[in-house]
Amino acid sequence: MSRRTIGWVMRAVAVLVPVVAVVVIVASTREEAARSTQATDVRNGRVFIQDNLWSTETEQYAVWVAPDGTPFAGKRARGGGAWRIENLGALPGNPLAAPTENDEHNVYAIAVDGRGYVHVIGNMHNGPLRYIRSRRPRDLASWETGRLAEPATSVTYPRLVALPDGTLLFWRRESTSGAGVILLDALGPGADQWEHIGAVLDGTTTGEIPYVHDVAVDPRSGVIHLMFEWRAGRDVATTNDVGYARSGDGGRSWETSARRELALPITHRTAEVVLDTPPSGSGLVNDGGLTVAADGRPHGAVVLDRTGGRRTIVHLWRGRAGWRREDLDGSTVGWRPGIAGTRDGKVWLLGAQDDHLVAVDVTNGAAGAQRTFGSVPRRWEVSYDTQALARHGRVEILVPEGRRPLVVTAPI
């Protein structure tokens, strides 16, 4: 695929092939009970997963991978009850190419669109698009395989995000030869075909790969907030410059935090920089959390892993007079942190310390009260059900045990 083809608008038309699966029902257990984490695969605990848990008003859906690489999908009534589980690795034709590659990039995302159809995308690291959707609304028993009109041959970091009007957004990175773009497609509330919006971030002009944080949507206004870094080729030491952009029209146009219009696609040269770092050697780690606080202001979190073992978590947020920064102790949470803004106006840093989940109050910038909950494997990073937060005001995290989906609720 040429850079010009990647960078500009095309129409995506789904070609659908029916597949049918066997569904089983597994009874729920007490999700706060003590349990072994030996069967919890870390591929379900990466900060860039968006989302492996998805709530509607009445139901919750999950997608996860067992330690043997088998992908599963499940659903239950919100509030608990039995999970109805499907083995996605048993689908005829194996559209998700199970077993899942033993690569922590090969994660899965799930979503429910405005008409109730379930979408699952995953098991890709610079590979061809692997995507299925349910043949009937709210149903996990039968699926269709979708393909875009224009081949998607080098996909990583699939993200499924909802707007308040029911529009479903599909974000992905496509990269070749050490440079890449972030592409956006939209499925309207009543639509059955994806519309290709185009390239939002383009690193091909500078020979870089863009890395995107959680895509944050304000559930009140529908404004989309985007935070990202750049990397020159495959050299992790060159990860640099945290950028920001926002959109008030579903991703069709973008602007800076000061409301200055940005030409599309956004490049490193044109992007607003909210954390300026050297081109190499800053210790900036790709990917991280992004959320919208109750006052509509974006809050992000990034990690600086400096030489000599010095680690800093940087909390970035947009204040009334511009961007603000607070450096937190690197031991506040391990690995890359997530972040969540709750309805009461608080902002929480989310991560793990050793083998437990933690939430740290960073509402006022610095680290405040800390709450410990849930058992996870070491090296676990937090992703959470963004729809549960938007619709129900709860931070719910999928921590599956083998073939069982277990959900932990943060006490915040």
Mean pLDDT of 162-179: 93
State the pLDDT confidence band at 33, using cuts at 50, 70 and 90: very low
- As a whole number, mean pLDDT of residues 198-206 equals 96
Q: Which residue segment(s) compose the domain that 322 sits in?
A: 8-409
Token pair in block for residue 306: 């400096």
Instruction: Please give the radius of gyration of the chain, using alpha carbons only, rounded to the nearest integer.
Output: 20
Confidence at residue 95, expressed as pLDDT on a 0 to 100 scale = 97
pLDDT tens digits for range 219-264: 999 999 999 999 998 899 999 999 999 999 999 999 999 999 999 9
For 76, 138, 184, 197, 407, the CA distances from 250, given in Å and listed in that order, are 30, 25, 10, 9, 30
Q: Would you say residue 2 lies in a domain? A: no
pLDDT at 28: 39
Average pLDDT, the chain: 90
pLDDT value for 152: 87
Q: State the pLDDT confidence band at 149, using cuts at 50, 70 and 90.
A: low
The enclosing domain of 221 has a CATH number of 2.130.10
CA distance 395 to 137: 25
Greater model confidence, 18 or 174: 174
In this prediction, residue 3 carries a pLDDT of 39
pLDDT at 13 over 50: no
**Residues 6+ away with beta carbon under 8 Å from 50:** 109, 159, 160, 161, 171, 214, 215, 383, 386
Provide, rounded to the nearest whole percent, the portion of the chain with pLDDT above 70.
90
364: which 2 tokens? 């006022």
26 has a pLDDT exceeding 80? no
- Write down the pTM of the prediction: 0.90
* Number of domain units in the chain: 1
70-108 pLDDT, tens digit per residue, is 999 999 999 888 999 999 999 999 999 999 999 999 999
Mean predicted confidence (pLDDT) in 29-50: 70
Is residue 3 included in any domain, yes or no? no
